[in-house]
Structure 1
Amino acid sequence: MSDHSAQDAQELARFGYKQEMDRRTGKFASFAVAFAFVSIATGIFTTFGSVLNTSGPMGIWTWPIATIGQLAVAFLLGGLAARIPVTGYHYQWCSRLANPVLGWILGWISFTFLAIVVVAVDYTVASTVFPVLFNFEGTANNCWVVTGLIILAQAVLIAVSTKATERVNNTAVSLELIGMVVLTVLLFIVAAARGMTDFSNLTSKGVVPAEGYWSFGELTSAGPWMLGFLLGAFTIVGFESAANLAEETNDPETVVPRAMWQAVAASGGLGFLFIVAVTLAIKDPVALAQSGTPIADVIQDTLGGFISTLLLVLVSIAIFACGLVIMLTGVRLTWAMSRDERFPGWQVLHRIHPTYRTPLAATVFFMVLAEAVLAIFSQDTDVLFTLFGAATLLPAIMYASTVTLYIVKRNKLPHSDKFDLGAWEMPLIVVAVIWLVFELLLFRDASFADAWKYVLVMMAIGAVYLAYLLVSKGVHGLSMPDMHSIDAELDNE
């Protein structure tokens, strides 16, 4: 073990844990984890069609606002990651900021999010990309089988080698960054050279009626312009996944917060340039709204079939990496909660495999759960919207809860020499609060009814197990190892 790794291990011991996994994650790998989870190629390819139908092409202007809001959240969560560099992210942060009961609830919400979003992401490539790329019919059964195989492949990679998993992800992220930059530049240049650039698209409402467009909606409905924010709200999430590898990262107090905000900034900037380039090249916004693959259609019309095929290959790689990182994050959270003896089956799930140096049992468990969720939704014709609805709602709840606790406890947090927001802290808090309140208001729309049902069912299951924990161990039995809260740490210093 290097001197730096030994120092990180000593830092971890302050939180009551021993070093069990190898520390090999560096700066780019940490950034790649955060960027792959966000995955602008995945998010934009998946949700652009929905935005065309709910807000029209003009809905893309919500993206910069969502980016700014999520960037503020990323900075605040980075402040927690620098002070609590422990695997388990929201679960650890809230357990130590507030109390272990609330921390468990946030941990369970995070777990339910990861369990649903990995299926949603992998189902996307099976239902909208592979059928076009390999010319087969995307029936419900076909999509079920293909998605199941993708989940299995990701699980095997994570179970066998963290090093190999990071190499695959690093390569995929590098390709995504290069590919998105090249595609964006080509779209701007070729569309302009061929006279295909239409600036009126930037203010077009497309299939959405102009009347009532700027309305805030009713009690159970959001206005058309508001629904455009779902493009950014769905895509720019999961950046804090880098914090879930804190115990495998070298100098996590410095590396993880930086990876989080840089991933949001890079995704937001590059993503916006890409969607502007795509929007400018749209021939007919009304007709395009009927397509299941609007991004691919614009690329094909502008750059030709060969480039369109390359796009689909790029999106496939990005989606696989996105699902890979989501599963990696879910496995680490399962392991972290099991290590504290507060997850069903913790007796087995907390173990690290002696040869692979990975949480093998937790990986198998998460894979089986993902396959079960896939089977439940496999015959649902609206499966993608249901899954993505839940996958957008849950992180909004997670972020709002954790940011609220940050605000309440910020004056009691120990000083961090490695990531200090300084005078920017209060402006960032204001931006984050405004954004999160607005984002949560989006989910009153009736179209998210099924997403709320999933959330409520999973919360009910979690409530039953939490009740069991409280009855069997009591509140004090759920205390964090050697450190009940940030306040307790301060008292001991």
Structure 2
Amino acid sequence: MSEKNTVVAEHHDEDAAHLASLGYSYDAKFKRDMTFWGNVSLGFTYLSPIAGVYSMFAISLGTAGPPMAWAVVIALIGQFFVALVFGEVVSNYPVSGGVYPWSRRLWGRKWAWMNGWIYVVALVGTIAAVSYGAAPFVSAVFGAEATTPAMVLIALGTLVIATLLNFSGTKVLSWAALVGLIAEMIGALVIGGYLLIFGRQWDFSIFFDNFGIGLDAPGGYLGAFAAAALIGMYAYYGFEANGDVAEEIKNPSYVVPRAMRVTLYIGGFATILLTFSLTMAVPNFLAVADGTVADPIAVLLKEAFGPVYPVAMMVIVIAFISCLTSLQAAATRLIYSMSRDHFLPASNFLSKFNEKRAVPTRSLAMAALFPAIILVLSLFLEDALTAMVSFGTVGIYIGFQMVVFAALRARILGWKPAGKFRLGAWAYLVNIIALIWGVAAVTNILWPRPTGGGWAEDYLLIITTVCVVGFGWIYMLVSKAHTKGDAPAGDASGPIKVVA
């Protein structure tokens, strides 16, 4: 056996032994085909700077003016602390499914059920949102009319493409994510670089001048900036997906924490470059604020790239589809992980594998079916899509903070991380900062703001969140879903707890 093959075999044995120590036999269902850069690409395309910035740029700029760009810097710092906590947790528990198995080991069954439930619903809503968000760019490439039925049809088409890519197996998923990373980086560098060199209308001083925008907002300019800061909060989640596929990577205890950090390094660079370069290229901020220019990015790109505008749109389409594919991959692993532990209805059905593809195809089908249902319902119930899309981001942030809080609690109770990535003496400080940041972010996202549509629309996100959490809690108590199966739980800081 060659030296390279010997190393691979040793990693295989070590990974199998680690899984076995966590209560899961390594039965070769998943193939460890994903490389380090494939894992980084998965997290990066889930994070998707292009999708995040393009979705929120006009709203944030019109709400608080150019200083809103600082929000992407603040959010990057806050989320980096969260990624450090996640890195230590996944290094200790490199199990498929992400926040659900981490919560299960750090706290217990009820906490894990609620986090899994909230995160599944959030991912379903986000998948629907991203597929719908891709539709205008697809229509721009092909010159299709942007009617609501056409947008829904295009969104369903992008969802089918993502599902086929996921069905093709880990190696194809890894390559698809890598293509998405390359497309996004080209898009960020070309668009951002071109606008900075040839399209810049202002100097850097504008990022300290609000041009009078947001002064009359509730809470004054601070309130306006807090609302505009959602561009940063929407931009930096996705590194959790690095850990969702921990059973598909060699030496995940070392590789995944590193991939999480690199995902944020690259994603942060691309997001900051795009946000700052786009802002400096906008000729009239007041026109964006008063709605005269509803889509400043489209105007900038058409003026900057002229006849190659469709090519720029195609790069954006690839970014959206890659983001959608990574989101669906994360949702699939989460559904599979919960069904493998018999936490979900029809768990035996959902946990079945396609042995040839090494993909949990029935869980994948659910990660396609439910977003598709939301998209179709939006034709008849517009608020259904709005509610689910709105919950997507806050649900993901709540899921993140349930892990961060569980990790802090476990430390206090005596948890001693034993993975290959450990925070050591910095653990408590990093964990506390991550929790403070996350609570502030969740509060800011949930904060009701005037929309002009009445109190129901102003409080729609809070109402949706209460309904999702309340339904999950009641279902758990009535069905006793958290008592099913015998997978270990609550053993991070002491003996395994079977029911707690």
Unaligned runs of 5+ in 1: 218-222
Unaligned runs of 5+ in 2: 1-7, 452-457
Change (3 A) 1:370 1:209: closer
Change (3 A) 1:231 1:166: same
Aligned residue in 2 for 1:220: none
Aligned residue in 2 for 1:135: 143
Aligned residue in 2 for 1:398: 399
Corresponding position: 1:451 with 2:461:
yes
Compute the displacement of 1:287 (Å). Answer: 2.0
TM-score by length of 1: 0.90
Say which of 87, 95, 105 aligns to 1:86. Answer: 95
Aligned residue in 2 for 1:106: 115
User: Aligned to 1:358, what secondary structure does the other structure show?
Assistant: coil
Compute the displacement of 1:178 (Å). Answer: 2.7
Aligned residue in 2 for 1:342: 343
Cα distance in 1, alignment partners of residues 495 and 247 from structure 2: 19
CA contact 2:91–2:419 (8 Å) conserved in 1: no
Aligned residue in 2 for 1:208: 213
Aligned residue in 2 for 1:236: 236
Number of corresponding residues:
477
Cα distance in 2, alignment partners of residues 379 and 57 from structure 1: 37
Change (3 A) 1:232 1:177: same
User: Aligned to 1:356, what secondary structure does the other structure show?
Assistant: coil
Say which of 300, 304, 329 aligns to 1:298. Answer: 300
The one-letter code matched in structure 1 to 2:295 is T
Aligned residue in 1 for 2:424: 422
Cα distance in 2, alignment partners of residues 250 and 157 from structure 1: 22
Change (3 A) 1:416 1:215: farther
Aligned residue in 1 for 2:477: 467
Aligned residue in 1 for 2:185: 177
Say which of 195, 202, 207 aligns to 1:197. Answer: 202
Cα distance in 2, alignment partners of residues 466 and 430 from structure 1: 29
Cα distance in 2, alignment partners of residues 242 and 71 from structure 1: 14
Cα distance in 2, alignment partners of residues 337 and 382 from structure 1: 29
Cα distance in 2, alignment partners of residues 212 and 369 from structure 1: 37
Corresponding position: 1:54 with 2:59:
no
Compute the displacement of 1:284 (Å). Answer: 0.8
Compute the displacement of 1:292 (Å). Answer: 4.3
Aligned residue in 2 for 1:152: 160
Change (3 A) 1:83 1:400: same
Corresponding position: 1:13 with 2:20:
yes
CA contact 2:106–2:489 (8 Å) conserved in 1: no
Compute the displacement of 1:142 (Å). Answer: 0.7
CA contact 1:16–1:482 (8 Å) conserved in 2: yes
Compute the displacement of 1:56 (Å). Answer: 2.2
| RMSD of aligned alpha carbons | 2.4
Cα distance in 2, alignment partners of residues 233 and 130 from structure 1: 25
Q: Between 75-84 and 290-299, report the one with greater CA deviation.
A: 290-299
Cα distance in 2, alignment partners of residues 216 and 188 from structure 1: 27
Compute the displacement of 1:485 (Å). Answer: 1.8
**Alignment of structure 1 residues 247-286 onto 2, 5 Å:** 247-286=247-286
The one-letter code matched in structure 2 to 1:485 is D
Aligned residue in 2 for 1:63: 72
CA contact 1:53–1:207 (8 Å) conserved in 2: no
Change (3 A) 1:271 1:307: farther
CA contact 1:101–1:478 (8 Å) conserved in 2: no
Aligned residue in 2 for 1:485: 491
CA contact 1:140–1:381 (8 Å) conserved in 2: no
> Residues 22-63 of structure 1: CA distance to partner in whole angstroms, max 9, x if unpaired?
111111011111111100011001110110232222211111
Compute the displacement of 1:239 (Å). Answer: 1.2
Change (3 A) 1:297 1:200: farther
Cα distance in 2, alignment partners of residues 206 and 380 from structure 1: 38
Change (3 A) 1:382 1:191: farther
CA contact 1:95–1:480 (8 Å) conserved in 2: no
The one-letter code matched in structure 1 to 2:150 is N
Compute the displacement of 1:87 (Å). Answer: 0.9
Compute the displacement of 1:386 (Å). Answer: 4.3
TM-score by length of 2: 0.89
